Chains A and B, each alone.
Chain A
Amino acid sequence: MKNWLLIIALFSALTGTAQNVTISGYIKDSKSGEELINASIVNEKNQGAVTNFYGFYSLTLPAGTYEFTVSYIGYESIKQTIKLTSSQTIDFELSESTNELMEVEVTAKKLDENLNKAEMSTTQLSAKQIKAIPQFLGEFDVIRSITLLPGVTTVGEGASGFNVRGGKTDQNLILLDQAPVYNSSHIFGFFSVFNGDAVRDLTLYKGGIPAPYGGRLSSVLDVYQKEGNMREYGGTMGIGLLSSRLMFEGPIINDKASFMVAGRRSYQDLLLRLSKNDDINSLVANFYDFNAKVNYKFNDKSRLYLSAYYGKDAFGVPGLVKFNWGNLGLTGRWNYLINDKLFLNVSSIYSDYDYAIGFDFPTVKVDNIAYINNQANKFAFSYFPNTKHNINFGGEAIVYDFEPFSVTADFVDTAITDVSIELQNEYAVEPAVYIEDDWKVNNRLTIRSGLRYSSFYNVGARDVVNYTPTANGTVRNDLITDTTSFGSGEIIKAFDGLQGLEPRFGLNYKTTENSAVKLSYNRMRQYIHLISNTTSSLPIDTWRPSGTYIDPGVADQVAVGVNRNFKEGEYQLSVETYYKSMRNLVDYKNGAQPTGVDNIEVDLMTGRGRSYGVEVQLDKKIGALTGWIAYTYSRSQLQVDLGATPDEWINLGQWYSAAQDKPHDLAIVAAWAAAKNISISGSFIYQTGKPYTYPEARSVYEGILYPFSLTRNNSRTPAYHRLDLSMDLKVPNKKEREWQSSWNVGVYNLYGRNNAFSIFFEEVLDDNGNATGQTKATQLSIFATAIPMITYNLEF
């Protein structure tokens, strides 16, 4: 390792030229000392650099005197003239804009970063921006916030996850301090696992996904936790109707080490205890989570970060059922500045998602568990050879362990043998390497080109069933012939070779001072799949790897866009169109119930997918009134024609709407700093209803009146729309106290829209429960009324 670093260092030194000097360092928040991601430093010749994920920048220029502008959205820009005669390290500190009404005037630099970067289809939101969006039940919700962006749609109230550009929820790579999060929600999707107080910022990649990321087809949501204030102690807390939260941060050693801890707990069950009904007041229903992070600077070149997340949901009816599930994420990262042009990050990550459910029946106690965990090691270099190139390269290896289903039935009657059914664990290794170059060809043209190579090995120990081969490749239980046993570590199925290449490309051409044209292409591969065939995701949905009978999903996406800024970047217009082609997508055979099935392939079918659309977003970035209007027209369709005969295909082999196909999507988000202590925000969302299967006919089979349909997803629920409002009232701080309190009041679903979660069909029963021969359609709604909220917040 050491020799290798020396070679790289030598290489980087050789690429420099004698007359060039390098200015490098970190750009930080002046109050907390925390590094800022994607902050920019630019000279008067428009030569510049952007900080990486660790706030580091490096800029190599000919020796001379330059006036540098250092800026970051939401912060006051600074200008500084520096005479560069030799390479030097300079850290910059920016102050957060304190008077949002005056933000236009204190922002000295034009906001035009969006016109200079090759990346597209990307949104970065800071904690401050997330908090400006109306809250839901007093929580700053990361997931709910991003569903207001173009191309991102909500699955629905009471459902986990989100859909990006027509992709399924399991096609989103969700990272918290680099640790994958396999279930991003609490309480069946009503809250996200991200504590808004612990989040520093997030970046969502919908397309043009950079080469360092891989493993999912549709998007990457990269969330970073706060690092902890290096200079003073402080924190925030909030007390809401259903949950409360606390975050505390501060220095361990000033400007050398800091910490951040945060926690949340909901207390539905505490409220339920007020009920006089014994069936209600004994129920268990809560979630909690805990975030922690420490970092330590060994010196100016070396720094260590340790971060952790742990969250659990618990539900239970004493004496009947107990159920809990949650995520654990542990990340250790070490940054090392090899020289002023070469930056190294090494990470070791452990991530786990598990659930446990138990039933206490009079005759038997049943316990069921399942989990997915992975251990990943990564190394990533950022290399800044000159002002034109920024090269990122690195590699990673992820080791997976899947426990899909394990159930034990312990009979009270000792004469009956206890039952233990444990599906076999599955194991897999996913190595990948990548390299990517951001090349600033000239002041107008920027090109990002990258290549990722990934592979996947499904390994033993495991017994794999074999099937009688069929011409069309279908597998069924009645075709099972025998099993093949694989030893521990033995490769069951390898996905490697040239098929693992994932090219990435992005281009930005600045057509005028205020406009740019963008183009991107990416190929993504996905090796693990979330197995679920329910209207809404369940915590018991399990992840399964690609293997002998399940191929990795592959997606190719091309996007073209135009960006135009108005009024020095105060207004930014973005128009993007994309086309995404996918193959080896997992879908379910009609009526499949795949939970607890070892040879899961008998319930699955694979097919093709396509999604395309146009996204328009108009942002108002600064001023007393900020926000955006986003409109998306998109389609997402699937085709599954694997099967012996057309009746085994889905929709007779024709293209059909995916569950997330919602052509029209409009979001309006506004935050208004009405006065010094009052800010008001609102959001409105409109989406075409989601597809569902309408029965085309009915008949009777063996006395059963049943609905009949040949085609899947042939109709739509009514349109979804909702208006949320919230107002933040800061309590005047007359005594110059070191804490600031505020009240946040608001209403979710202001006009009480009765949005459909699903529509289902059933036979009408009479008062005695007897069939009547009549049929009806019923709409299920989750929030059919306005939901008020109030939260007391304290910042200290």
Chain B
Amino acid sequence: MRAMKKSFYYLALTLAFGFTACETDVTDKVKTDAFDGAAALSVSGAITDVDTIGTYIDLRVSSPYLETGADTRVEGATIRLFDGDSLLGLVPEVSPGRYEELAFQSIWNHHYRIEIEVPSSYQGIEGSWESTLDHCNPHLSLIAPLFPILEEDSTYFDFRTGDSVYYADADSAYYSPYIFYLDPAGKGNSYWVKSYATTKIYAPNGLQGPFQPQETEISPANSINLYNDEQSPEGPQIARYNFLGPPYTVYRDTLINIVFETRSVSEKLYDYLTIMSTNVNNGGLFSVPYSPQIGNIRRSDDTTIFGLGYFSATSIRFDSITMFHPF
């Protein structure tokens, strides 16, 4: 749908009236007129089921949007982690404003929350904050496809050499990778492809090697790729990952390797990230208007005073695929 809207935008502006439309930088003008909210606590963190990641939390002080300075980190805070109402323990500060504990890991279908005590030296945000409970959704499981494919790294993506490969010429081919997976039972399952990296590998002998990695493109942080039950009804699914975009082109002497991290997210985090996605990619004539985005951080003694950010509970998968010329 987003692609459709972008197409309309492109068509409307370039075909009909693009010669007069324009974009103007009005930062200074807007900055003069704008009112900025009071500084607030900003939280970015999660409890994961990966033993090398565990639980991590970054604490910051929010700043005016059009300000150019670096963010202020919140040091010396006390963070307590709860599984439901059970205290799991304190999350220690490992660097200024960064709190981590590898031992705290999420369990599917458990709910987690944190309580934060901000030192009195941070005027305006000092005192007690908390997150609301976030549910750790189970992750999808990959399934064997219903028709022959090449498998790579134990994941099931479609690199078939049959009619799913389109040849631009004798030396190149296009791939459109698909995933085959089983959506967990029940509604409300959502996923976030948090990041992916695409590496081109020079391989003059194809899969025989040697392999010489070339440049690696890492997905920009604001490329937020989400999907949920609405796109993926319950049960076995065949879907093409949105983030993979248009078909990849591979040449006889080049492989493409993609590594990506997928997180299960709760319904509330899905909504939060959806809004964030439209907000950070805002601005087109036909885009969704910029809208308020409230996470799950609030004052402990007044739940109508909100902080920024989100503390989530998640299950993480890392997968990779390699594409190569079939002949």
| Size of interface on B: residues with Cβ below 8 Å to A | 94
B276 touches A776 (CB 8 A): no
A699 touches B279 (CB 8 A): no
B248-299: which have CB < 8 Å to A? 267, 271, 274-280, 282-295, 298
B291 touches A540 (CB 8 A): no
A591 touches B293 (CB 8 A): yes
A692 touches B289 (CB 8 A): yes
Q: Given A534-B286, A697-B65: A777 and B291 within 8 A (CB)?
A: no
A595 touches B62 (CB 8 A): no
B12 touches A158 (CB 8 A): yes
B5 touches A538 (CB 8 A): yes
Does B169 make an interface contact (CB < 8 A)?
A: no
Chain B residues near A761 (CB, 8 Å)?
Answer: 65, 282-283, 290
Q: Given A416-B238, A645-B303: A774 and B68 within 8 A (CB)?
A: yes
Shortest beta-carbon distance from B38 to chain A in Å: 8
In the complex, A416→B146 CA distance in Å? 10
In the complex, A285→B13 CA distance in Å? 11
Chain B residues near A535 (CB, 8 Å)?
Answer: 284-289
Please pick, from A321, A361, A590, A646, the residue contacting B304 in the complex, using a CB distance under 8 A.
Answer: A646
A323 touches B11 (CB 8 A): yes
B63 touches A413 (CB 8 A): no
Question: B23-54 interface mask toward A, CB cutoff 8 Å, 1 = contact, 0 = none?
Answer: 11111011101111101101010000000000
Does B164 make an interface contact (CB < 8 A)?
A: yes
Binds A, one of B81-89, B106-114, B206-214, B221-229: B221-229
Does B94 make an interface contact (CB < 8 A)?
A: no
Please pick, from A651, A707, A769, the residue contacting B280 in the complex, using a CB distance under 8 A.
Answer: A707
Total A-B contacts with CB atoms under 8 angstroms apart: 294
Does A6 make an interface contact (CB < 8 A)?
A: no
B166 touches A285 (CB 8 A): no
A415 touches B163 (CB 8 A): yes
Q: Given A536-B286, A706-B280: A362 and B174 within 8 A (CB)?
A: yes
Question: B166-210 interface mask toward A, CB cutoff 8 Å, 1 = contact, 0 = none?
Answer: 100000001010100000000110000010000000000000000
Chain A residues near B65 (CB, 8 Å)?
Answer: 694-698, 707-708, 761, 775
Q: Given A268-B15, A762-B280: A590 and B293 within 8 A (CB)?
A: yes
Binds B, one of A10-18, A256-264, A619-627, A782-790: A782-790
In the complex, A158→B67 CA distance in Å? 32
Does A55 make an interface contact (CB < 8 A)?
A: no
In the complex, A780→B228 CA distance in Å? 32
Binds B, one of A103-111, A474-482, A490-498: A474-482
Q: Given A535-B284, A779-B26: A414 and B163 within 8 A (CB)?
A: yes
Question: B150-165 interface mask toward A, CB cutoff 8 Å, 1 = contact, 0 = none?
Answer: 0000000000101110
Chain B residues near A590 (CB, 8 Å)?
Answer: 271, 275, 291-294
B163 touches A696 (CB 8 A): no
Chain A residues near B287 (CB, 8 Å)?
Answer: 534-535, 760
Please pick, from B15, B176, B275, the residue contacting A591 in the complex, using a CB distance under 8 A.
Answer: B275
Chain B residues near A477 (CB, 8 Å)?
Answer: 187-188, 228-230, 267
B164 touches A415 (CB 8 A): yes
Please pick, from A415, A478, A659, the residue contacting B187 in the complex, using a CB distance under 8 A.
Answer: A478
B188 touches A478 (CB 8 A): yes
Chain A residues near B64 (CB, 8 Å)?
Answer: 696-698
Of all chain B residues, the one with the shortest Cβ separation from A701 is: B44
Does A334 make an interface contact (CB < 8 A)?
A: no
Shortest beta-carbon distance from B221 to chain A in Å: 4
Binds B, one of A84-92, A709-717, A727-735, A737-745: A709-717
In the complex, A417→B71 CA distance in Å? 50
Of all chain B residues, the one with the shortest Cβ separation from A415 is: B147
In the complex, A372→B72 CA distance in Å? 53
Shortest beta-carbon distance from A771 to chain B in Å: 7
In the complex, A692→B277 CA distance in Å? 18
Shortest beta-carbon distance from B279 to chain A in Å: 6
Does B17 make an interface contact (CB < 8 A)?
A: yes
Main SS at interface, chain B: loop
Question: A681-706 interface mask toward B, CB cutoff 8 Å, 1 = contact, 0 = none?
Answer: 00000000000111111111111111
Shortest beta-carbon distance from A26 to chain B in Å: 44
A273-291: which have CB < 8 Å to B? 283, 285
Question: Which one of B3, B5, B30 has the highest number of Cβ atoms from chain A below 10 Å of its Cβ?
Answer: B30
A188 touches B26 (CB 8 A): no
Does A593 make an interface contact (CB < 8 A)?
A: yes
In the complex, A556→B80 CA distance in Å? 53
A695 touches B290 (CB 8 A): yes
Q: Given A268-B16, A478-B188: A707 and B290 within 8 A (CB)?
A: yes
Does B20 make an interface contact (CB < 8 A)?
A: yes
Please pick, from B23, B33, B282, B306, the residue contacting A710 in the complex, using a CB distance under 8 A.
Answer: B306
Please pick, from A363, A712, A763, A784, the residue contacting B176 in the complex, using a CB distance under 8 A.
Answer: A363
Chain A residues near B304 (CB, 8 Å)?
Answer: 646, 652
Shortest beta-carbon distance from B265 to chain A in Å: 11
Question: A740-767 interface mask toward B, CB cutoff 8 Å, 1 = contact, 0 = none?
Answer: 0000000000000010111111110000
B188 touches A781 (CB 8 A): no
B30 touches A591 (CB 8 A): no
A709 touches B44 (CB 8 A): no
In the complex, A149→B291 CA distance in Å? 31
Does A123 make an interface contact (CB < 8 A)?
A: no
Please pick, from A414, A697, A705, the residue contacting B40 in the complex, using a CB distance under 8 A.
Answer: A697
B282 touches A534 (CB 8 A): no
Please pick, from A413, A417, A696, A697, the residue contacting B164 in the complex, using a CB distance under 8 A.
Answer: A413
Does A571 make an interface contact (CB < 8 A)?
A: no
Does B124 make an interface contact (CB < 8 A)?
A: no
Does A412 make an interface contact (CB < 8 A)?
A: yes
B-contacting residues of A (Cβ < 8 Å)?
A: 158, 187-188, 190, 268-269, 272, 283, 285, 315, 317, 321, 323, 357, 359, 361-363, 368, 412-417, 476-478, 480, 533-536, 538-540, 589-593, 595-597, 645-647, 650-652, 659, 692-712, 714-715, 718, 754, 756-763, 769-771, 773-785, 787
Nearest 4 Cβ contacts at the A-B interface: A760-B283, A696-B37, A591-B275, A478-B188
Can you identify 24 A-B contacts, CB atoms within 8 angstroms?
A187-B16, A315-B15, A323-B8, A359-B3, A478-B188, A534-B286, A538-B5, A591-B277, A591-B288, A591-B293, A645-B303, A695-B290, A697-B39, A697-B308, A698-B64, A704-B280, A709-B290, A763-B280, A771-B221, A777-B26, A778-B26, A779-B24, A780-B23, A780-B284
A-contacting residues of B (Cβ < 8 Å)?
A: 1, 3-5, 7-8, 11-12, 15-17, 20-27, 29-31, 33-37, 39-40, 42, 44, 58, 60, 62-68, 70-71, 147, 160, 162-164, 166, 174, 176, 178, 187-188, 194, 220-222, 224, 228-230, 238, 246-247, 267, 271, 274-280, 282-295, 298, 303-304, 306, 308-310
Given contacts A285-B16, A701-B309, 15 further A-B contacts (CB under 8 A): A158-B21, A321-B7, A361-B246, A413-B162, A533-B289, A536-B285, A593-B1, A704-B221, A709-B37, A712-B292, A773-B68, A773-B70, A779-B23, A782-B17, A782-B21
